[in-house]
Amino acid sequence: MSVRRKFACVLLVTGAFAQRPAPLPPNYKVILDNESVLVQRVHYGPHELVPLHDHPAVATVYVYLNHSGVVDITHEGPNGFTVHRPPTQTGAFRVSPGMFERHSVQNQSDLPSDFLRVELKHVPIKSLPAEFRGDAPNEPFHSGSETLYDNPALRIERILCAPVEKCNLESESSPSVVAVVPLKSASESKQNPIFWLPANKNPSEMKGAAAFEGIDEPWEILRIVLLKH
Give the Å distances, CA to CA, from 59 to 7, 14, 55, 95, 205: 33, 24, 11, 8, 29
Share of the chain above pLDDT 90, in %: 56
pLDDT tens-digit series, residues 51-104: 999 999 999 999 999 999 999 999 987 888 999 999 999 999 999 998 888 999
pLDDT band at 210 (very low <50, low <70, confident <90, very high): low
pLDDT tens-digit series, residues 121-148: 998 777 788 899 999 998 888 888 999 9
Homologous superfamily, domain 22-226: Jelly Rolls (2.60.120.10)
Question: Distance between CA atoms of 82 and 179, rounded to whole angstroms?
Answer: 30
pLDDT band at 212 (very low <50, low <70, confident <90, very high): low
pLDDT beyond 80 at 37: yes
